A and B are shown apart, each in its own frame.
Chain A
Amino acid sequence: MSPLKLKKGSSKHSAYDLRSGYGDTQERHTIAVVVDNEAGVLARVIGLFSGRGYNIESLTVAEIDHTGHMSRITIVTTGTPQVIEQIKAQLDRIVPVHEVHDLTVEGRPVERELALLKVTGTGDKRVEALRLADIFRANVVDSTLTSFVFEITGTSEKIDAFAELMQPLGLEETARTGVAALSRGSRRQD
């Protein structure tokens, strides 16, 4: 039998594109996951995202119920609507996961992040840094004659903006917590 000739460019579609065409737009979702605080649970969640190729923009975790040993993981992710649905279904499949909430679908959630920024410098720059910190309602939590550590809370965008302004003023180091989020209003998520 003669060999097969490969027709170059015979299909416009990527052969790996297994997902169907509907809803190609990328969406950003904040998802809250309530889990048993047991060994390895965070590895399960992170392993799911890396193993299946999902994005993580931010991930925070802490125990929220010390008697029931429950933790809340807040994940900010991006994907097409189909991928977002998959992420939620896959998270829900993990045995120690109790609840999965798509806060973005349930209404624009309250999202806050905390950051610590170390800014060094003297003279005008130092004064300007302090002035801007005041505008952003950032607190000074440590100071020397040549440095400040600012503490700022807000949306990720606000922290981005503050960090950008601090850059030319001697920003040395940043630590951010990642996003914590709750839905608005009196209703508990269910």
Chain B
Amino acid sequence: MTRQMTGAKMVIQALKDQGVDVVFGYPGGAVLPIYDEIFQQNDIRHVLVRHEQGAVHAAEGYARSTGKPGVCLVTSGPGATNAVTGLTDALMDSIPIIVLTGQVPTFMIGNDAFQEADTVGITRPCTKHNWLVRETEKLSDVIHQAFHVATNGRPGPVLVDIPKDVQFASAAYTPPGKARTAHYAPRVKGDIQAITDLAELIEKAERPVFYTGGGVINSGPGASHLLRELVGATGFPITSTLMGLGAYPASGEHWLGMLGMHGLYEANLAMHDCDLMINIGARFDDRITGRVDSFSPGSKKAHIDIDPSSINKVIHVDIPIIGDVGHVLEDLLKVWKSRGRKTNKEAVAAWWKKIGEWKKVDCLSFDQSGKTILPQYALSRLEALTKDRKDRFICTEVGQHQMWAAQYMGFEEPNHWMTSGGLGTMGYGFPSSVGVQMAHPDALVINVAGEASWLMNMQEMGTAVQYRLAVKQFILNNERLGMVRQWQELLHGERYSQSWSEALPDFVKLAEAFGAKGIICSDPADLDDAIMEMLNHDGPVIFDCLVEKHENCFPMIPSGEPHNKMLLGAASTQDAIGSSGAVLV
């Protein structure tokens, strides 16, 4: 039995059949038929954002915190172009989202019609795949394919462009089970020979390290579970990228902390000196490798990744394993156990001793003795006062505060940390927190922000207030574009070109103007009380935390340098960055 319906109705039916409960969107002429259908049903909630970029980041936050794809609906032309930054962000961070865009009617495409843009052309390089649907007969099939592609293999954003006449016309609806999805079936099981080779290396390794990334989170909670089992059983140290935080708990005994440009001393030195590196769902990003030709020179490297193009892209590896983290770890554990659960215990104990010495450097220590709040102190207190809450989700904007959040906050579970890693999109955090709170209405959702980033999507205050989303905007206000200022200090002779925030709003009044609560704090002695006041308020809060203006984020591996050339603090920054490093970003 086939059901006839209009294209607009098909969109809603397909979303329902895909289990969608929330859509983030913004209406306009080219999507009015779909909005009309939204009006006539109650199964799917629509969240009216204040800017389409906000819709996409909200969908990303929703997706990352639930493991389900996020969905957006925007109009043609400017609606679609406003979504481009979010799409690129989701592509870089492998976040599954589906963006539905309206388009001018098929018979007007190509005529420079009102609010026409070549949406599939513009978004081709920033989506995993996209479709322009010219016939209503194909619409439901394509939407189901879109969900399939977004969520299978390496996840990513997809876009379906729907001309207005296609929304009005009627055709038969294709249910999800009948959709043509078979042709896209990335391999999830790893090659058992390669897995056995890795098990053999695990048995012999003297200085092993697990280097884990966003792929573990992408693979689902089961993968984190298996990772914990593997780390516990082998006793090997583990570090993670920014994107993988929470897959292994920060309180776990084998945890070294984050690695990379602003990673911990012990994590980076372990990477540099190891003899076996096991990369699980990470992509050898340049924030991790530093100078490639001196990256972990003495190690054998294994790499588990679902995307063959991630393998040998940057770093040549000895054992590539193409597959899903969860599937591969399951097989790896089986093989390794069946071979007798062996490790080189003596050597690994000596390795831990060495790591222990690096840990003694205590690279995250800071001295909060002055009257000005240090950003590190602010986040340590935020951590201390919230870490017992299992339902705590942290989002961030981009800059120094983001790195400090990664360093000073501990993540115990996957999917509780939302940050823009690959694209580094200022303005990501606030809308993302909106999406997270929509998915978890009773949870504690905090966006750790810099004042400059936060202003980039501050219009979403309206969304937060309208939907009673109690998101906490914790702004580390240094009145500087801090990360830029830091680079100018280190690389451009302290010429602080355009890197401070002038004419900032009064954040308390701004909160009140939106009907929310504002809190300001500048004294370290008041900080705990102020944070508690924020936590106890049942509604959105803007917390203006005035912090030290010139604090730099350390440790830092200068661009173009290897891991063992790390800067630990102000004293070590002299002559740190060579001229070749200066051209890097």
Q: Which residues in A have some Cβ–Cβ distance to B below 8 Å?
A: 1-11, 13-22, 39-40, 43-44, 47, 51, 82, 85-86, 89-90, 92-96, 98
A15-B583, A47-B124 given as contacts; is B312 within 8 A of A7 (CB)? no
Chain B: minimal CB distance from A47 (Å)? 6
CB contact between A95 and one of B129, B489, B559, B581 (< 8 Å): that residue = B129
Kindly identify which residue among B291, B314, B574 contacts A4, using a CB–CB cutoff of 8 Å.
B574
How far is it, in angstroms, between the C-alpha of A11 and the C-alpha of B124 when the chains are bound? 38
Contact B580 A93 (CB under 8 A): no
- Is A4's CB under 8 angstroms from B124's CB? no
**Residues from 543 to 585 in B contacting A, C-beta threshold 8 Å:** 559-560, 570, 573-584
Determine the distance from Cα of A14 to Cα of B291 in the docked complex, in whole angstroms.
Answer: 10
For this complex, 19 residue pairs linking A to B, each with C-beta atoms less than 8 Å apart, are: A1-B494, A3-B494, A4-B576, A4-B577, A11-B578, A13-B580, A14-B580, A15-B582, A16-B584, A19-B314, A20-B292, A21-B293, A39-B132, A86-B309, A89-B309, A90-B309, A92-B309, A94-B129, A95-B149
Smallest CB-CB separation from A38: which chain B residue?
B131
Residues of A near B570 (CB, < 8 A) are 1
Compute how far the CA of A17 lies from the CA of B578 in the bound complex, rounded to whole angstroms: 15
Distance A13 CA – B309 CA, assembled complex (angstroms): 25
List the 5 closest pairs (A to B, CB-CB), nearest first: A10-B578, A89-B309, A15-B580, A3-B493, A95-B129
A7 touches which of B124, B573, B579 (Cβ 8 Å): B579
Cβ–Cβ contact B489 & A1, under 8 A:
yes
B580 nearest in chain A by CB position: A15
> Is there an interface contact between A4 and B490, defined as CB atoms closer than 8 Å?
yes
Residue of B nearest to A91 (CB): B309
Asked whether B183 is an interface residue with its Cβ less than 8 Å from the other chain, the reply is: yes
Determine which residue in B491, B573, B578 has the highest number of CB atoms from chain A within 10 A of its CB, and name it: B578
Shortest Cβ distance from A90 into chain B, in angstroms? 5
**Contact call B579/A13, Cβ cutoff below 8 A:** no
**Contacts of A6 on B, CB cut-off 8 Å?**
491, 577-579, 582
Write out the residue numbers on chain B whose beta carbons fall within 8 Å of the beta carbon of A20: 292-293, 314-316
B289 CB contacts on chain A under 8 angstroms: 18
Whether A95 and B184, one on each chain, are in contact in the complex, defined by CB atoms closer than 8 angstroms, is: yes
Is the CB–CB distance between A40 and B120 below 8 Å? Answer: yes
Knowing A4-B490, A4-B574, A10-B578 are in contact, say whether A40-B124 is a contact too (CB < 8 A). yes
In contact, B579 and A2 (Cβ under 8 angstroms):
no
Chain A residues whose CB sits within 8 angstroms of the CB of B581 once the complex forms:
11, 15
> Would you call A5 and B575 a contact (CB within 8 A)?
yes
- The answer to whether the Cβ of B324 comes within 8 Å of any Cβ in the partner chain is no
Return chain A residues, CB-CB under 8 Å to B579.
Answer: 6-11
Please determine whether A93 and B309 come into contact, CB atoms closer than 8 angstroms. yes
Q: Is B110 an interface residue (CB 8 A)?
A: no
- B584–A2 CB distance below 8 A: no
Task: Fill in one digit per residue for B283-298: 1 if any A CB lies within 8 Å of its CB, else 0.
Answer: 0001001011100000
A11/B560 contact (C-beta < 8 A), A18-B292, A21-B293 known: yes
Contact pattern, B 490-510, Cβ under 8 Å of A = 1, otherwise 0: 110110000000000000000
- Given A4-B491, A39-B132, A86-B313, 18 more A-B residue pairs with CB atoms under 8 Å apart are A1-B489, A1-B494, A3-B494, A4-B577, A5-B575, A6-B579, A11-B581, A13-B580, A15-B559, A16-B583, A17-B292, A18-B314, A20-B314, A20-B315, A40-B124, A44-B124, A47-B124, A93-B309
